[in-house]
Amino acid sequence: LPFQEYVEQLLEPPHPGRLGSDTLYPPGDNNFTEWGPLFPPYVPPPFRIPGTGPPYSFGIAGSGSGVPFPPHGPGYSEVIFGRKRWFLYPPDKTPHFHPNETTLAWLHHTYPSLPLAERPLECTLPPPEVLYFPDRWWHAPPNLDTSVFISTFLP
């Protein structure tokens, strides 16, 4: 997808009927052919496992967009521009969400009716802050603004 089309299509707030999996975030893909020129000036967080080269996920996304509760390995998320609101559940506390629902739809329809004991941990991440997400923690990080971000996945 040409970058101009990406910007025109995906920086728009998500349509209510959009599927939660309808995203073009390239998770953990170090494609040095396409993205190589972006890596030399980037200084990743100084937290890594010695002797490993972590994969990155670079994203530019519009307000209200975000992936719905993917559980995966540990990593860091860094906001370069804009803000992200983070919702986190530990591995043993599966969130109430439909996998085809967007994070924005979950935030509007499910979140308000959750009892306090079932609500996730949450925070807002502005630039240049970094958030660590532990191994297998459920997380939903909707963008509050048009955002530029990089996630570092630890092997």
Could you say which DSSP state residue 143 is in? B
Total-model pTM: 0.79
CA distance 10 to 74: 26
CATH number at residue 96: 2.60.120.650
Report the share of the chain in percent with pLDDT over 90.
31
Give the distance from CA 85 to its chain's centroid: 9
Mean pLDDT of the region 25-48? 64
**Token pair listed for 54:** 């972590």
More confidently predicted of 137 and 12: 137
Domain assignment present for 124:
yes
> 23 falls in which pLDDT band (50, 70, 90)?
low
pLDDT at 74 over 70: yes
Domain assignment present for 130:
yes
Q: In the chain, how many domains are there?
A: 1
pLDDT at 89 over 90: yes
CA distance 153 to 116: 30
Domain assignment present for 20:
no
Domain assignment present for 74:
yes
Segments forming the whole domain that contains residue 124: 59-154
Q: Based on C-alpha coordinates, what's the Rg of the chain? A: 15
CA distance 34 to 95: 35
pLDDT at 83 over 90: yes
pLDDT at 19 over 90: no
The tens digit of pLDDT for each residue in 92-123 reads 999 988 877 888 888 988 999 999 999 999 99
**Token pair listed for 90:** 């530990």
CA dihedral 25→31→36→42, nearest 10 degrees, is: 50
